A and B are shown apart, each in its own frame.
Chain A
């Protein structure tokens, strides 16, 4: 198994919080449109794919949905509350030490290895809660024998990671995740770029989505050790939206598109 750099790149998207079920998900087509719009006339062979797990999450959230139906008698209020549970509830209720979470991680890992087996260079774009799954799976893959040899990117099942609106800066996620997996000796660097909107409340945990500055999210994982082998950057973006709308507005942001373009072409 080795990555063949002449093969088309695959941008694998793992979604996060959103409304609806698996059938409603189309973030990979949004990412394709975004990357196409940044390529101009440059020839680049690439495909996009999506790892879906929302149906598994919905099973877990069923009890919360029922509770809301009991509490909110007004049909309009019920619809709003139900959507809000879908959007934010995933983050809070997603206990990451459960069998459901383990199934999601395993499924995502298998999807990455399937792309790796086919020889396509794979880049992961992870949104919201999906960024936590991506963090866990990629770090786990780095511990496996024969993968992520720092001297050869052909052994890397994932060439780079882009996270969008990640809640990894919140204590509920980062207090137990203290560091990234070191790659050891070598000169190749694994790239992780984290994009966040300053008013995105799922990034900051701020109720009213107040503007944030000087906030370290992914960069908390940077280490001065040359053995770490990661390049980690936080990039604030202005999606032009506020509060929860900002959280779902990364998909067509030009800065995100340029970052993705830069990652898949270098």
Chain B
């Protein structure tokens, strides 16, 4: 059965399978890489920043009082590969940049970038193992004179998880 004729007929099929395999393996990587760049571009556009660093001070609303009253939103693009967008509060330790989106993480950790009108939604999933990691959801909403930044973050360790939600309201006037 395995004569020369059969081998020739198989060649286009093999080629097709190879192309399909190439596309299937490279497309998710490409789209993840695109999401990361989209997230960075969307953040800059949302805050209309042109410089490498922008910082906004605000107040927590509808947030457990244990996080304090004031918050700070920081957008830092000063170090290529180390960019971040975070929220910190008055009790955040001085050693920590805060909670938020980190661009030094792998491309495939960016799972959602949705920018429509006055709302930007970003999601990042950092996984240490299948049972341990952090899922960060951020919603930025622009209203007249204010920007409301919501962060919902779930940390998982083995069979435990904990979610925190904070709303930081920044006055733009």
Which residues of A line the B interface, CB within 8 A? 85, 88-89, 91-93, 95-102, 105, 135-136, 139-140, 143, 167, 169-172, 175-178, 181, 201-202, 204-207
Contact = CB atoms under 8 A, between A and B. Distances in A.
20 contacts: A85-B160, A88-B159, A88-B160, A92-B156, A97-B99, A98-B67, A100-B66, A102-B93, A135-B95, A136-B94, A169-B128, A172-B155, A175-B102, A177-B96, A204-B128, A204-B132, A205-B129, A205-B133, A205-B157, A207-B158
Nearest to A180: B95
A3 to B, nearest CB: 23
B54 interface: no
Interface of B: 65-68, 82, 86, 88-89, 91-99, 102, 105, 126-134, 155-162, 164
A207 B96 contact: no
A175 B129 contact: no
A102 B96 CA distance: 13
Contacts of B155: 92, 172
B128 A101 contact: no
Contacts of B96: 96-97, 136, 176-177
A177 B86 CA distance: 12
Given A97-B88, A140-B93, A207-B129, A176 B164 contact: no
Nearest to A133: B93
8 tightest Cβ-Cβ pairs between the two chains A and B: A205-B132, A176-B96, A171-B126, A207-B131, A205-B128, A136-B93, A97-B92, A102-B91
Centre residue among B65, B89, B133, B157 by max chain A CB count within 10 A: B157
B95 A136 contact: yes
A205 B67 CA distance: 26
Nearest to A103: B91
A175 B97 CA distance: 9
Contacts of A202: 157-158
A172 B162 CA distance: 11
Contacts of A205: 128-129, 131-133, 157-158
